[in-house]
Structure 1
């Protein structure tokens, strides 16, 4: 039996133990995990610095370094995210439907844990804790396979969390970190459809496509985040400017950052010079169509590839459109089904925008940066699905359960 199969078997057995814990016991376990992260902060940050220095030595770009980096405040945020998840309503055992059939049998649909989740991710050491918290709260085991660039950080975080499991009398295999980072091991993990119930890849488009193409287990897919802001002709321009700056600048390496700005032609002469000044002050490079270039000096010409790009950097594609339908048509052509935003003062335009687009999250007069499990009240998210499976959009606790039928009778037979 291979090592990875052995690890998966042990995780499955531990998951069954987790699934039998009460809500209170699982919540207490997460609180202990958060306390363990606080206690081990020094060791975790030291391990993260080893990873960061190795990445700098390799010449890794700023976007990847930002995803990889921990600092005291970020680590406090990771621990507090575990505490937030501990306090969230427990989906396990929730009755979502309850009715009685004519023959007297009572039919319920009840949420139960999925089982074992395989998390495959790059560069984000916080995912180690976030994924563990969400999976354990929902009664699942989790197998974590991070990237080599964060191996020291992931190992230090996992060691803290596993200690909390052991101290609570739970087999620490419920949280399994794969330390063998060979591609062959990951491929074998993705073939274990008798042990793994769901795979969730988080990282670049290349990683996600690799997992989706090689897995024999169900896969949640999110290839990239090409997020749009459309400034309607009825928009409050200061409001729109605030949404633009926050969406593009606050954390450009995040998948919910803005990549394309669409502006109605009627407000473009007023809005685009303001937008360009605000963005350039913050180091943003603009790439626009001919109409944008006519209104703002020194804008680089945008290509079709620019409108399809997920820059994850201080670069923004800009286009002037003649109408709301034209903005919708542009988004439909280039969307990655992640997040779309409209700034508008017209309720009917907001409704038209929302109903025309099928992206996982649609915002009206709110920043794209709210497209995040924590900001939407889910606690720390385990990922985002842009494929229409049992979950669509940011994934929290409910997405780590499935609904099964429970039927209660008094001896009824079908005959």
Structure 2
């Protein structure tokens, strides 16, 4: 694969950079994000940035023009992402909607629904969330227990979802629920989208180990008590919930991608500046060995992502190789965060109340959540084993059983 831009791609990259330089501030000019970390302010800044991109045609490059895109090629979308990442712009608000909900709506929604929902999503007027995980299902999405019962032209939803990012400020969400417990668990699921302001929906923020609750990236519990959803908001056929969910998960693992936080550059800078008994940490052989490991991992991730870019440039869907990126980057983030804390010895976990959590503390505390989001490490290792390496599937005790007959703990 040729990693250099073609003349056309180089021209497009220059156009991206020129617009970003005019409308945003490079990261090197600002040490951290926006100073006001309140959720209300973060939402306002994020919506203003998304609207600015939308008006200029940069919001969703690969989408059709009628939905706010410019029908750009997948490789141009990648180029834009590479260039935008160099600037200090808000993130974390629209990724789920644009990276996961949008592609599913594009594939399964009616034409009328696409016209109604996709442009406001791209413009930043409406925010979407993903309602998949449940307390009883764990990593097994197909083991969910939230129920959907048909009532004329409506469905009545009861149950609970958990770890739903952004549910507390979202306008809509995509939802997978069980419509039939009398058949195999993967076949008894149906997929919908729902107005998050519907009667019967209760959202409760989850207090996190970092001290955050209800923040811009915060998790939530979502309860459904006799929530009515019209059948017109079903995505796919009745019983196609698992198939539609897989489409979402493939896009999720691509959207989640790299774990954001301290990386090899920050670890290297710390090693050069931190004193260790009169010498810089980088003089320590064990530290140099760890830095070398992370450098190899970072470059392995880089070239693995090029495989994904290559597939996208050919018009192919995201494949299981995105699982590799997520596993390695989340674990690397946790290791680097731990390294930064260890370098502070007994004071490593002290948190300055004025400045909040340091980048290394934040990486260490936040990484376990990233190892769950978008599929746990264990699930993704199975995906890699079965779909990349071609190994046989794990034995399944529930195979062929009706969902209601699967043994559960008392």
Q: TM-score range by the shorter chain?
A: under 0.3
Normalised by the size of structure 1, how large is the TM-score? 0.25
Q: Which structure has the larger Rg?
A: 1
Normalised by the size of structure 2, how large is the TM-score? 0.26
The structure whose residues are more often strand, as a share, is 1
